[in-house]
Amino acid sequence: MKTSTYSKIGIEIVMIACTAIIFYPIIMILMISVKTNSEASSSPLSFPSEFVFQNYVDAFQKMNYMNVFTNSVTLTAISTIAGVLLYALAAYGIARAKRWKWLFRSFYLLFIIGQVLPSQTSLPPLIFIMRELHLMNSIPGVSLIIIGGGTSLAILLLCGFINTVPMALEESAKIDGAGPLQIFSKITLRLMVPPIMTLVILNVVAVWNDFMTPLLFLPGKSARTIPLEVFYFKGEYITSWNLLFAALILSMIPLLVVFFFLQRYIISGLMSGAVK
């Protein structure tokens, strides 16, 4: 397409302006987060007249940042690492079983059914189950819910991939006397890196930002994750928007930093997850 230089510049300006408007709320809270409380309420839209970084120190302490950050990291790490390993193992088992194929085929169908079950449908009894298993307020316990709930998408994604991997490599390893676990860990798992990365990214973003599961299963103060702490933070500091926004920024930073460095992988990971 041939477009004149003027219209090219015009489109560019329009796009930049639109993006700036969309991004403005984040700039806005960034500016308010360094204002004094009185300036934040008297002139919310102006550029800060002085930078009060003390807000961040206060927010950091008041939201018990190190504690909630550690909780979020632990929950995300356990559910992602353990989850992805177990999913990969199960997907391999389903795709490569030699005998009783109908059984593995029905496992597969059973796993896929979860795609149409809303998480809220399983919630009411799950509360009871978690209480009975004494897993309330336990981060590893909640990871089990997340792993169980993420099964459908993971199996769909991984089985779809394994079915495209030719058997030849595995066959030759078998002739060399390798067992299925060896073949899985030395060959197939390594070939599965792309869909596994997709799964890791999907899982990290979802678990890190998850609010409903921690709200119901991690109600104790010491087990709170970042989104949950942010939620309660507003109730306690309702009148100080500057402090709240410092807390919001602090809660956004970890994932946005990761995103900044890995954005190409994250965007393509979230996309190939969406396509499934």
Partner 1 sequence: MATSSVQVKNRKQHAIKFKKGTLTYDNFYIYLLMVLPVLILYMVFKIIPSLSSFYFSLTDFNGITTNFTFLGMKNYVNLFQERHFIEAMSNTIYFSILVTVLQNTLGLLAAIGLNQALKSKNILRTVLFSPALINAIVVAYIWSYIFDFNGPLNTVLKKLGFIDEMKTWLGDESFALYGVVIAHVWRFIGYTAVIYLANLQSIPHEVIEASEIDGANSWKRFWRIIFPLLAPSTTINVLLAFSGTMQVFDIIYGLTNGGPGYSTEMMATYIVREITNNQVGYAAAMGIILFFFTLLFNGIVYTFLRKREANYE
Q: By CB under 8 A, is residue 22 in contact with partner 1?
A: yes
Q: Which stretch binds partner 1 (CB under 8 A): 51-59, 62-70, 147-155, 192-200?
A: 147-155
Task: Please say whether the beta carbons of 229 and 60 come within 8 A.
Answer: no
Residue pair 243/58 in contact (Cβ under 8 Å)? The answer is yes
Q: Which of 31, 68, 78, 126 binds partner 1 (CB under 8 A)?
A: 126
Stretch touching partner 1 by CB under 8 A, among 51-59, 128-136, 161-169, 192-200: 128-136
Among 119, 163, 172, 222, interactor with partner 1 by CB under 8 A:
119
The amino acid sitting at 47 is F
Q: Does 269 engage in binding with partner 1 (CB under 8 A)?
A: no
Q: Buried b vs exposed e over 204-234: b needs ≥16 C-beta within 10 Å? A: bbbbbebeebbeebbeeeebbbbbbbbeebe
CB of 209 to partner 1, least distance (A): 4
Based on the shown chain and the rule CB under 8 A, indicate whether residue 149 belongs to the binding site for partner 1: yes
Q: Pick from 66, 81, 117, 193 the residue near partner 1 by CB under 8 A.
A: 117
Number of residues counted as binding partner 1 (CB under 8 A): 95
**Binds partner 1 (CB under 8 A): choice among 57, 81, 110, 193:** 110
Chain positions 46 to 85 lying near partner 1, rule: CB under 8 A, are none
Rounded to whole angstroms, the Cα distance separating 214 from 233 reads 15
Residue 263 touching partner 1 (CB under 8 A)? yes
Question: Which of 119, 107, 106, 175 lies closest to 150, judged by CA?
Answer: 119
179 binding partner 1? (CB under 8 A)? yes
Stretches 49-57, 61-69, 189-197, 241-249: which one binds partner 1 (CB under 8 A)? 241-249
Contact 121, 58 (CB under 8 A): no
H-helix segments, the chain:
5-32, 37-42, 54-62, 65-96, 101-113, 119-132, 139-162, 168-175, 180-183, 189-191, 193-209, 212-217, 226-236, 241-275
Report d(CA 139, CA 151) in Å as an integer: 19
Closest approach, Cβ 118 to partner 1, in A, equals 5
275 contacts partner 1 (rule: CB under 8 A): yes
